[in-house]
């Protein structure tokens, strides 16, 4: 792509890269520090001056969790996984048809529907928490994971609808007509023509809906009182209250929580950036 670089250009490139790496290291330092702390023992954590890499590698903070039942972080991990996957499923099942309907049909009130989805994205959790709590209590959904799942999906659905409208609108009418002439009915046109073209958008929605479920604290800790059912974020919060300054355990807990986020980020980076540029909210 680039024409061959002259010497000053090459030097400039090296300097730019160097400064970029410095900026990167500076901004990512908190994450590094958390990961390193989770691998130190308590004595080393208190050491002054602090050590940048663990002098003695200590993995007990992770394995101790496997034995104790009380604050088992792997159980919380599983809970979060169940909640987030269900949120993802609900968001996709509802958002795909909705966005298809909005994008491909003309009907009254369409603009209002789009606007209400946009506004829902900007709602504070606080305004929904108290009334949802009362409703879930009345219909006996409190202390079941359904409550957290149902609540978390309210963030993923509007986001997914808005993203997918863009994908479905961009598909030319001719393509639809051609497949109809070839003998596809509406449903098979949707499944065989529309869905494959919109699949990158579907992936974006799946990833973000999952992450919204994964990151939620407010709903999970308010609607679920039993520690055995709570998501990992609420688990950490409890753990902080209990073991306030046991930082090796706390940071290990935090590292386990972000592992799926980092894995998703590594494999889905393209989709995540595309979601972010289309204005993903911070769930």
Partner 1 sequence: MNLIKRYFSNGNIGYLFVLPAAVYMLLLVGYPIVSNFILSFQDVTVTTLNKLQKPFVGFRNYRLLLGDGVLQPSLANTFVFTLCCIVLQFIIGFALALYFNRSFSFSKPIRGLLMIPWMIPMTVTALMFKFMFSSNVGIVNQFLQACGLIGQPIEWLLQPRLAMLSLVIANTWIGIPFNMILISTGLTTIPADLMEAASIDGASARQSFFHIILPMLKPVIESVLILGFIYTFKVFDLVFVMTNGGPVNTTQLLSTYSYKLSFTLFKYSQGAATANILFLILFAVSIVYLKFVYDDGKAA
Q: Name the residue among 67, 39, 73 with its Cα closest to residue 239.
A: 73
- Does residue 206 interact with partner 1 by CB under 8 A? no
Contacts of 270 (CB under 8 A, 6+ apart): none
Considering the complex, state which of residue 128 and residue 184 has its C-beta at the smaller distance from partner 1: 128
Min separation Cβ 273 and partner 1, Å: 6
Stretches 58-66, 170-178, 196-204, 245-253: which one binds partner 1 (CB under 8 A)?
Answer: 245-253
Min separation Cβ 154 and partner 1, Å: 5
Min separation Cβ 111 and partner 1, Å: 9
- Does residue 8 interact with partner 1 by CB under 8 A? no
Q: Is the peptide bond between 49 and the residue preceding it cis, with omega within 30 degrees of 0?
A: yes
Q: Any idea what the Cα angle at residue 20 is, between residues 18 and 22, rounded to 5°?
A: 70
**Which one of residues 60, 116, 199, 242 is an interface residue with partner 1 (CB under 8 A)?**
116
Considering the complex, state which of residue 127 and residue 181 has its C-beta at the smaller distance from partner 1: 127
- Does residue 131 interact with partner 1 by CB under 8 A? yes
- Does residue 198 interact with partner 1 by CB under 8 A? no
**Which one of residues 79, 142, 158, 159 is an interface residue with partner 1 (CB under 8 A)?**
158
Per residue in 33-71, is it b (16+ CB within 10 Å) or e — as a string? Answer: ebebbbbbbeebbeeeeeeeebeeebeebbeebeeeeeb
d(CA 2, CA 4) in angstroms, rounded, equals 6
Q: Name the residue among 150, 151, 161, 153 with its Cα closest to residue 95.
A: 161
- 115: tokens are 């606007």
The mark string for 212-231 relative to partner 1 (x by CB under 8 A, - otherwise) is --xxxxx---x---------
Using CB under 8 A as the binding rule, the residues of this chain from 53 to 92 that contact partner 1 are: 90
**Which one of residues 43, 66, 118, 139 is an interface residue with partner 1 (CB under 8 A)?**
118
Stretches 61-69, 177-185, 193-201, 249-257: which one binds partner 1 (CB under 8 A)?
Answer: 249-257
- Count the site residues for partner 1 by CB under 8 A: 99
Q: Are 106 and 169 in contact (CB under 8 A)?
A: no
**Which one of residues 81, 133, 146, 243 is an interface residue with partner 1 (CB under 8 A)?**
133
Stretches 57-65, 102-110, 174-182, 197-205: which one binds partner 1 (CB under 8 A)?
Answer: 102-110
Using CB under 8 A as the binding rule, the residues of this chain from 166 to 185 that contact partner 1 are: 166
* Gyration radius of the chain's alpha carbons: 24
Instruction: Tell me the HSE value of 205 on the side-chain side, using a 13 A CA sphere.
Output: 30
Angle between helices 247-277 and 7-38 (to 10 degrees): 140
Q: Name the residue among 20, 18, 281, 47 with its Cα closest to residue 160.
A: 281
- Does residue 251 interact with partner 1 by CB under 8 A? yes
d(CA 221, CA 217) in angstroms, rounded, equals 6
Using CB under 8 A as the binding rule, the residues of this chain from 12 to 51 that contact partner 1 are: 12-13, 16-17, 19-21, 23-24, 27-28, 30-31, 33-34, 37, 45-46, 48-50
């Amino acid at each position: 792509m680039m024409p061959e670089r002259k010497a000053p250009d090459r030097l400039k490139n090296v300097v730019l890269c160097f400064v970029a790496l410095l900026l990167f290291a500076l901004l990512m330092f908190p994450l590094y520090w958390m990961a390193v702390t989770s691998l130190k023992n308590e004595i080393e954590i208190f050491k002054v001056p602090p050590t940048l890499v663990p002098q003695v590698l200590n993995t007990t903070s992770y394995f101790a969790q496997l034995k104790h039942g009380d604050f088992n972080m792997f159980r919380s991990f599983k809970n979060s996984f169940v909640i987030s996957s269900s949120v993802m499923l609900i968001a996709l099942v509802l958002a795909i048809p909705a966005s298809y309907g909005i994008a491909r049909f003309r009907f009254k009130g369409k603009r209002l529907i789009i606007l209400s989805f946009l506004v829902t994205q900007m709602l504070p959790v606080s305004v929904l928490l108290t009334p949802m709590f009362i409703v879930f209590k009345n219909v006996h959904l409190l202390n079941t994971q359904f409550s957290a799942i149902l609540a978390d999906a309210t963030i993923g659905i509007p986001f997914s609808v808005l993203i997918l409208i863009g994908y479905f609108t961009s598909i030319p009418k001719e393509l639809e007509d051609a497949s109809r002439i070839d003998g596809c009915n509406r449903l098979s046109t949707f499944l065989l023509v529309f869905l494959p073209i919109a699949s990158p958008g579907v992936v974006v929605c799946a990833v973000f809906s999952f992450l919204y479920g994964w990151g939620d604290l407010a709903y999970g800790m308010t609607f679920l009182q039993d520690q055995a059912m709570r998501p990992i974020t609420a688990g950490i919060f409890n753990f902080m209250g209990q073991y306030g300054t046991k930082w090796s355990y706390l940071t290990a807990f935090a590292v386990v929580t972000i592992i799926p986020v980092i894995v998703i980020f590594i494999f889905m980076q393209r989709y995540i950036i595309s979601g972010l540029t289309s204005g993903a909210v911070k769930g």
